[in-house]
A and B are shown apart, each in its own frame.
Chain A
């Protein structure tokens, strides 16, 4: 138990590279990491480990629009990401949090409590059926991977979104109950309508780990990418 979290601050970093890096840090590092990335330069649709592109995406339209389809190594649903998406990735050993067990619901509950002081400032925040919401509108998705006694909990937060790009997603077969059949544009909300400053939000999310008792240590991309060479299992790939 080190009590230290290495912080990697990225801007406009390709989401494919970020996901491969997170997977490597999960499997091939013993350190705790918190990545923040302000936007990805090229739009992409990112599917979870079990997502079927033929079911979740209007594939022909997506490819015509120049949107890359990516399979990630974590669970969860399908998201459209671009330069107006904010990303966080927390990679940690469960033993860093007394009593935390390596299972999805305890980890999700702990991260909800971790980020609540930040998001709670801007709205009626909750983790609702595993989505980040203000009351009944979703502003962010999250997903996890658990390997041995380490986990990744990563988020994609919608600062702003392009409805035409969102329309590349098919209506999923399984939707949360609180969605109540609403079309996508009535079910999600852009964070820019709630939060005054985009960079300040990422700083606050980073600082929440300090408030939780961890020592934060700024790290470099070079240091983080050392894990890539050591990682033998990579589920992240372009489809």
Chain B
């Protein structure tokens, strides 16, 4: 996160906007540079597994803690509202895990793995900004007991996810 702040300051010094670039029908060189800088400094944690749709799974035994990545929270903007599943709900890989609201948009979040929800992060009800501030720590969404741990083999590791994020630049 500190590296991204440094990148933002560097971008400011170069006269670049310090927000994620928005895409018009044409792309400016400034926008492309800023996008590349931004994507280079999104935090990716080694040892976690990642979905291409920017959710992560922290797997400990047969329990996975699920959330959205630093890249995703930054692209979404300030999160003002979160919906999480109910404890006891059964999730399939790729099914809706919840919804976040940011910048007048309700964005669906998907479960990267299948399992039963055993805990949800109720702190997000009163403090949804935790998703922005601590996506990998206090901003987790739900914990599930895995029904098929082998599904994790199809997720991306940290290096592959980093490349995936960088490839989103245009």
A interface residues (Cβ-Cβ under 8 A, vs B): 48-50, 73-77, 97, 99-110, 113, 130, 142-148, 151, 212, 233, 235
In the assembled complex, the CB of A66 is this many whole angstroms from the nearest CB of chain B, namely 28
Residues of B within 8 A of A101 (CB): 23, 75, 168
- Contact across chains for A48 and B20 when beta carbons are under 8 A apart: no
Bound CA span A50–B110, Å: 19
What would be 23 A-B contacts, judged by CB atoms less than 8 Å apart?
Answer: A48-B106, A74-B105, A75-B103, A75-B104, A75-B106, A76-B105, A101-B75, A103-B75, A104-B104, A104-B107, A105-B75, A105-B103, A107-B105, A108-B22, A108-B104, A108-B105, A110-B23, A144-B103, A144-B104, A144-B106, A146-B107, A148-B110, A151-B105
Contact A49 B106 (CB under 8 A): yes
- In chain B between 140 and 170, which residues have their CB closer than 8 angstroms to a CB of chain A? 168, 170
A142 and chain B: residue at smallest CB distance: B104
19 extra interface residue pairs, beta carbon distance < 8 Å, beyond A74-B104, A74-B105, A77-B104: A48-B104, A48-B106, A49-B83, A50-B80, A50-B81, A75-B106, A76-B104, A101-B23, A101-B168, A104-B76, A106-B23, A108-B104, A110-B23, A144-B106, A146-B106, A146-B107, A148-B108, A151-B105, A233-B96
Instruction: Report Cα–Cα, A75/B101, bound state, in Å.
Output: 6
Q: Which residue of B lies closest to A141 (CB)?
A: B104
**Chain A residue at minimum C-beta to C-beta distance from B80:** A50
- Contact across chains for A212 and B20 when beta carbons are under 8 A apart: no
Pair A49/B81 contact, Cβ less than 8 Å: yes
Q: Does B99 contact A (CB under 8 A)?
A: yes
Q: Do A49 and B96 form a contact, CB below 8 Å, given A145-B107, A146-B107?
A: no
The residues of A that contact B107 with a CB separation of less than 8 Å are 102-104, 145-147
B77 at the binding interface (Cβ < 8 Å)? yes
Q: Are A145 and B25 in contact (CB under 8 A)?
A: no
A107 partner residues in chain B, CB cutoff 8 A = 105
With beta carbons under 8 angstroms apart, the residue of B20, B25, B80, B96 that contacts A105 is B20
Contact mask B84-108 → A, CB, 8 Å, 1/0?
Answer: 0000000000001001011111111
